[in-house]
């Protein structure tokens, strides 16, 4: 029986940008124990969560994803503002928004989604919203205390990065939280083409 790997497809942040975003995250942390904050070293934008997949199926799927991404160009993504799902007063998820590059990330997610659907993965029902998750409420509905801090951060510019690769990531669940590792990567094309 093939090993099953809890996995997802994502774009990972470089460490210098993650450190800048951690500064905003620190302003939100406060003393409220209701929040589980993402380790800044693990910050990423998920394009598709796969769940537990047999290693042999994962290899085949990744080849299809790479074929689908062929011809995709590298681009710049910039991060601005902190917000919450569903809203700051009833926050369940706190996130950083993507300004420049949001359409390109949505296109990458669409291509990945298409490749995954051809391998039997269910399509996402909600539209793709480019963002970085900073934290999740342990008790949904108890996040109203972040509203004032989020208001102060809703327009802050947090930096930018070049999105030049897509990663297949492994997620290992531990008592201390998820540990992510890179299984595979696919570089995006650089430069201008007429």
Domain ranges of the chain: 4-187
What are 18-34's pLDDT values in tens digits?
999 998 888 888 656 77
What are 12-71's pLDDT values in tens digits?
999 999 999 998 888 888 656 778 888 888 999 999 999 999 999 999 999 999 999 999
Annotated catalytic residue, options 44, 48, 111, 136: 44
User: Using an 8 Å Cβ cutoff, are 171 and 7 in contact?
Assistant: yes
- pLDDT grade for 100, boundaries at 50, 70 and 90: very high
* CATH class of the domain at 4-187: alpha beta
Contacts of 23 (CB under 8 A, 6+ apart): none
Question: CA 102 → CA 68, 75, 165, distances in Å?
Answer: 19, 10, 15
The arrangement of strands across the sheet holding 44-54 comes to 44-54, 4-12, 165-174, 177-187
Q: Which residue has the tokens 């917000």?
A: 83
- Looking at the predicted structure, is the pLDDT value of residue 9 above 80? yes
Q: Looking at residue 149, what is its pLDDT?
A: 77
* Alpha-carbon torsion, ordered 102, 160, 25, 172, to 10 deg: 70
131 is catalytic: yes
Where helices occur in the chain by DSSP H, the ranges are 15-29, 55-69, 102-117, 147-153
Q: How far apart are CA 32 and CA 154, in angstroms?
A: 20
DSSP code, position 43: -
Annotated catalytic residue, options 131, 136, 143, 171: 131
What are 121-179's pLDDT values in tens digits?
999 998 999 999 998 888 766 555 677 777 888 888 999 999 999 999 999 988 877 88
Q: Looking at residue 87, what is its pLDDT?
A: 79
Q: Looking at residue 194, what is its pLDDT?
A: 42
- Looking at the predicted structure, is the pLDDT value of residue 102 above 80? yes
- Looking at the predicted structure, is the pLDDT value of residue 98 above 50? yes
Q: Looking at residue 59, what is its pLDDT?
A: 93
Question: What value does the CA radius of gyration of the chain take, rounded to a whole number of Å?
Answer: 17
129 is catalytic: no
């Amino acid at each position: 029986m093939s090993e099953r790997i809890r996995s997802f497809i994502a774009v990972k942040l470089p460490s210098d940008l993650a450190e800048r975003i951690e500064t905003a995250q620190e302003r939100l942390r406060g003393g409220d124990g209701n929040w589980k904050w993402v380790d800044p070293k693990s910050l990423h934008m998920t394009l598709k969560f796969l769940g537990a997949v047999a290693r042999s199926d994962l290899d085949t799927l990744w080849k299809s994803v790479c074929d689908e991404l062929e011809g995709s160009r590298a681009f710049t993504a910039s991060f601005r503002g902190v917000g919450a799902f569903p809203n700051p007063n009833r926050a369940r998820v706190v996130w950083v928004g993507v300004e420049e590059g949001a359409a390109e990330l949505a296109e990458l997610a669409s291509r990945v989604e298409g490749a995954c659907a051809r391998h039997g993965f269910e399509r996402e029902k909600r539209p793709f919203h480019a963002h970085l998750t900073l934290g999740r409420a342990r008790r949904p509905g108890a996040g109203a205390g972040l509203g004032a801090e989020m208001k102060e951060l809703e327009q802050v510019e947090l930096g930018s990065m070049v999105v030049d690769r897509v990663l297949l990531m492994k997620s290992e669940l531990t008592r201390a939280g998820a540990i992510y590792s890179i299984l595979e990567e696919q570089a995006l094309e650089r430069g201008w083409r007429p």
